[in-house]
Amino acid sequence: MIYDCAIIGGGPAGLNAALVLGRAKRSVVLIDSNKPRNAVTHASHGFITRDGVTPSEFRRIAYEEVLRYPSVEHLQIEVVSVEKKESGFEVNVSSGDRILARKIILATGVKEIFPEIEGFYPLYGKSLFNCPYCDGWELRERPLVVVSDHPSIFHMAKMIFNWSKDLVVCTNGKASLSELQRKQLETKGVVVMEQPVSAFIGQNGRLELVRFADGTEIPRYGGFVSPKLVPSTALGENLGCERTESGGIKTDEWGRSSIPGIYSAGDAANEMPSQLIFAAASGSRTAAGVNMDLTEEDFE
């Protein structure tokens, strides 16, 4: 059997793509290794009708809805490689099986690389986060910290300032702020700490102190740490897909990559900001692109 489309990745982008293609009567195989990036998150926000839903419940509901369509199949397995063939593409999975599909949607997301700071991971997803749109409301009006060595730290600090005026901004030893930016923050009462952060200290998931390399400690209730985002797989790169400056798969407005027949959706295509609702919308749009192209091919 050759599927109309193989979707690699079962996050919101892949799931919404499967839903749209299933409703278009396309034969779809959704391949997912069940290792979601947001597994540590207690609740997801900003998605209308699903605000506050746990990631596991979101996935449960989504799979229940998607698999109502008889032309959609789900395989929970790792994808090893994707190869171009005369009839389309061959997806090689870890069981040794080979899956044939006319089109491929890469919805494999990204992985986060956080600064190596002691004590971070026990607090991540509980009082330390990376997305203010997702978790800023829960930390509103609290003493917060922002840790980032990215040039975007100034914009991040200004955003967090909307949720809390009691703010400490840490560049973690990097010269990420210009002198003008630092003075602008300090004029607003924001404390800027430029020395390296050595540890986050807390218990039961709640941040209590931020410790710096020089021994300084500041009490904080929670905060945001900026990760570096990198592709979670090399599938797009191995297929020769053109990349964006930030490392995502470059696509047009319908999710088409530079390789005919290969599409990308969600975080894998660097859809920003990295939120459920943006990823799901991207999956829907990309599925429409796949269906349009299949329709043209079949009609001709």
162-190 pLDDT, tens digit per residue, is 999 999 999 999 999 999 999 999 999 99
Percent of residues, the chain, with pLDDT higher than 90: 83
Question: How large is the average pLDDT for residues 260-286?
Answer: 89
Domain ranges, ordered by start, for the chain: 2-112+228-299, 115-225
CATH superfamily membership of 2-112+228-299: FAD/NAD(P)-binding domain (3.50.50.60)
DSSP for 242-297, written as a single string: -B-TTSSB---TTSB-SSTTEEE-GGGGT-SS--HHHHHHHHHHHHHHHHHHHHHH
pLDDT tens, position by position, 223-253: 999 998 888 999 999 999 999 987 899 999 9
Percent of residues, the chain, with pLDDT higher than 70: 97
| Phi and psi angles of residue 147, each rounded to the nearest 5 degrees, phi first | -120, 120
pLDDT tens, position by position, 183-207: 999 999 999 999 999 999 999 999 9
Average pLDDT, the chain: 94
Helices 276-299 and 12-23: crossing angle, nearest 10°? Answer: 40
CB 171 within 8 A of CB 194: yes
Q: Does domain 115-225 have CATH number 3.40.710.10?
A: no
Q: pTM, whole model, 2 decimals? A: 0.92
Q: 3-state class of 125 per DSSP? A: coil
Least-confidence region, from 202-206, 218-222, 272-276 = 272-276
Helix (H) / strand (E) containing 28:
strand 28-32
pLDDT tens, position by position, 45-93: 888 898 989 988 999 999 999 999 999 999 999 999 999 998 899 999 9
- CA-derived radius of gyration, the chain: 21
Please report the pLDDT score of residue 34 as a whole number: 83
Strand partners, 28: 5, 72
Q: Do domains 2-112+228-299 and 115-225 have the same CATH topology?
A: yes
With 70 as the cut, is the pLDDT of residue 39 above it? no
Tokens describing residue 88: 């389309």
